[in-house]
Amino acid sequence: MSEVDLSTHPGHLARRLQQAHYLLWNSMVSERITSPQFAVLNALVAGDDLDQRAVGEQVGLDRSTIAEVVTRLERGGLLRRVRDPRDGRRYLLRLTSEGADVHRDVARRTARMNQVFLAPLEPDERRVLLDLMRRVADAAEEIRAAGEG
Protein backbone atom coordinates (compact mmCIF):
# COMPACT_ATOMS: atom_id res chain seq x y z
CA MET A 1 0.00 0.00 0.00
CA SER A 2 1.39 3.41 -0.89
CA GLU A 3 1.18 6.69 0.90
CA VAL A 4 -1.62 9.05 -0.14
CA ASP A 5 -0.62 12.59 -1.12
CA LEU A 6 -2.84 14.58 1.24
CA SER A 7 -1.85 17.84 -0.47
CA THR A 8 -4.37 16.84 -3.15
CA HIS A 9 -7.21 16.26 -0.66
CA PRO A 10 -9.45 19.32 -0.22
CA GLY A 11 -10.69 18.15 3.19
CA HIS A 12 -7.15 17.83 4.53
CA LEU A 13 -6.23 21.27 3.22
CA ALA A 14 -9.46 22.76 4.61
CA ARG A 15 -8.64 21.31 8.04
CA ARG A 16 -5.12 22.80 7.90
CA LEU A 17 -6.56 26.18 6.89
CA GLN A 18 -9.08 25.94 9.75
CA GLN A 19 -6.26 25.25 12.21
CA ALA A 20 -4.34 28.28 10.93
CA HIS A 21 -7.47 30.42 11.14
CA TYR A 22 -8.18 29.23 14.69
CA LEU A 23 -4.65 30.06 15.85
CA LEU A 24 -4.74 33.51 14.25
CA TRP A 25 -8.24 34.17 15.58
CA ASN A 26 -7.26 33.38 19.16
CA SER A 27 -4.05 35.38 19.03
CA MET A 28 -5.18 38.38 16.98
CA VAL A 29 -8.94 38.68 17.38
CA SER A 30 -10.49 37.26 20.52
CA GLU A 31 -10.32 34.41 22.96
CA ARG A 32 -13.82 35.36 24.18
CA ILE A 33 -15.73 35.56 20.89
CA THR A 34 -15.50 32.71 18.39
CA SER A 35 -15.67 33.09 14.64
CA PRO A 36 -19.22 31.63 14.49
CA GLN A 37 -20.31 33.97 17.30
CA PHE A 38 -18.89 36.91 15.35
CA ALA A 39 -20.81 35.76 12.25
CA VAL A 40 -24.05 35.84 14.25
CA LEU A 41 -23.30 39.30 15.66
CA ASN A 42 -22.48 40.45 12.14
CA ALA A 43 -25.77 39.14 10.77
CA LEU A 44 -27.64 41.04 13.48
CA VAL A 45 -25.78 44.27 12.71
CA ALA A 46 -26.82 43.94 9.09
CA GLY A 47 -30.45 42.89 9.50
CA ASP A 48 -33.55 43.49 11.55
CA ASP A 49 -36.35 41.08 12.39
CA LEU A 50 -34.20 37.97 12.12
CA ASP A 51 -35.02 34.89 14.12
CA GLN A 52 -32.59 32.16 15.09
CA ARG A 53 -33.40 30.02 12.04
CA ALA A 54 -32.87 32.89 9.60
CA VAL A 55 -29.57 33.89 11.21
CA GLY A 56 -28.38 30.27 11.15
CA GLU A 57 -29.20 29.98 7.45
CA GLN A 58 -27.54 33.30 6.68
CA VAL A 59 -24.26 32.41 8.37
CA GLY A 60 -24.22 28.72 7.47
CA LEU A 61 -24.76 27.16 10.90
CA ASP A 62 -26.92 24.09 11.45
CA ARG A 63 -29.82 24.16 13.92
CA SER A 64 -27.97 22.77 16.93
CA THR A 65 -24.91 24.97 16.40
CA ILE A 66 -26.90 28.18 15.98
CA ALA A 67 -28.89 27.33 19.12
CA GLU A 68 -25.68 26.91 21.12
CA VAL A 69 -24.10 30.07 19.70
CA VAL A 70 -27.21 32.17 20.41
CA THR A 71 -27.44 30.82 23.96
CA ARG A 72 -23.81 31.71 24.65
CA LEU A 73 -24.17 35.20 23.18
CA GLU A 74 -27.35 35.77 25.19
CA ARG A 75 -25.69 34.59 28.42
CA GLY A 76 -22.78 36.91 27.65
CA GLY A 77 -25.14 39.86 27.34
CA LEU A 78 -24.35 40.44 23.66
CA LEU A 79 -27.81 39.70 22.28
CA ARG A 80 -31.32 39.27 23.54
CA ARG A 81 -34.39 37.45 22.33
CA VAL A 82 -37.54 39.53 21.93
CA ARG A 83 -41.01 38.26 21.12
CA ASP A 84 -42.05 39.04 17.56
CA PRO A 85 -44.98 41.49 17.79
CA ARG A 86 -46.50 39.93 14.62
CA ASP A 87 -46.14 36.31 15.82
CA GLY A 88 -46.10 35.69 19.56
CA ARG A 89 -44.59 32.22 19.11
CA ARG A 90 -41.53 33.58 17.35
CA TYR A 91 -38.50 35.25 18.94
CA LEU A 92 -36.34 37.79 17.16
CA LEU A 93 -32.67 38.28 17.97
CA ARG A 94 -31.40 41.76 18.77
CA LEU A 95 -27.93 43.01 19.58
CA THR A 96 -27.46 44.69 22.92
CA SER A 97 -25.35 47.85 23.09
CA GLU A 98 -22.50 45.71 24.46
CA GLY A 99 -22.98 43.32 21.53
CA ALA A 100 -22.69 46.21 19.08
CA ASP A 101 -19.50 47.40 20.81
CA VAL A 102 -18.01 43.91 20.75
CA HIS A 103 -18.95 43.54 17.07
CA ARG A 104 -17.21 46.80 16.20
CA ASP A 105 -14.02 45.79 18.05
CA VAL A 106 -13.95 42.26 16.63
CA ALA A 107 -14.66 43.51 13.08
CA ARG A 108 -11.63 45.78 13.29
CA ARG A 109 -9.45 42.94 14.56
CA THR A 110 -10.68 40.48 11.93
CA ALA A 111 -9.70 42.88 9.17
CA ARG A 112 -6.09 42.78 10.40
CA MET A 113 -6.18 39.02 10.92
CA ASN A 114 -7.44 38.49 7.37
CA GLN A 115 -4.50 40.52 6.05
CA VAL A 116 -2.10 38.22 7.90
CA PHE A 117 -3.99 35.07 6.89
CA LEU A 118 -3.93 35.98 3.19
CA ALA A 119 -0.47 37.59 3.18
CA PRO A 120 1.17 34.77 1.17
CA LEU A 121 -1.10 35.61 -1.78
CA GLU A 122 -1.09 38.46 -4.27
CA PRO A 123 -4.27 40.60 -4.32
CA ASP A 124 -5.60 38.89 -7.47
CA GLU A 125 -4.91 35.47 -5.94
CA ARG A 126 -6.79 36.49 -2.79
CA ARG A 127 -9.87 37.39 -4.83
CA VAL A 128 -9.70 34.10 -6.75
CA LEU A 129 -9.21 32.04 -3.57
CA LEU A 130 -12.13 33.72 -1.80
CA ASP A 131 -14.37 33.28 -4.84
CA LEU A 132 -13.50 29.57 -5.10
CA MET A 133 -14.01 29.05 -1.37
CA ARG A 134 -17.41 30.78 -1.55
CA ARG A 135 -18.47 28.59 -4.47
CA VAL A 136 -17.50 25.37 -2.70
CA ALA A 137 -19.13 26.51 0.56
CA ASP A 138 -22.33 27.53 -1.25
CA ALA A 139 -22.48 24.16 -3.03
CA ALA A 140 -22.00 22.36 0.29
CA GLU A 141 -24.82 24.46 1.83
CA GLU A 142 -27.12 23.46 -1.02
CA ILE A 143 -26.31 19.77 -0.48
CA ARG A 144 -26.93 20.12 3.28
CA ALA A 145 -30.22 21.97 2.71
CA ALA A 146 -31.40 19.34 0.25
CA GLY A 147 -30.64 16.64 2.81
CA GLU A 148 -32.72 18.43 5.44
CA GLY A 149 -35.66 19.06 3.15
Over residues 108-143, the pLDDT tens digits come to: 999 999 999 999 999 999 999 999 999 999 898 888
Print burial letters for 106-122: b (CB count within 10 Å at least 16), e (below 16): beebbeebbeebeeeee
Fold of 7-117: Arc Repressor Mutant, subunit A (1.10.10)
The whole-number pLDDT of residue 42 equals 97
Q: pLDDT at residue 1 above 80?
A: yes
Q: pLDDT at residue 148 above 80?
A: no
Q: State CA 28 to chain mean position distance.
A: 16
In the chain, where the domains are located: 7-117
Predicted confidence (pLDDT) per residue in 24-69, tens digit = 999 999 999 999 999 999 999 987 789 999 999 999 898 999 999 9
Contact 64, 148 (CB under 8 A): no
Query: Can you give the pTM of this predicted structure?
Result: 0.89
CA distance 95 to 116: 29
The whole-number pLDDT of residue 149 equals 63
CA distance 148 to 25: 31
Residue 83's DSSP bridge partners are 91
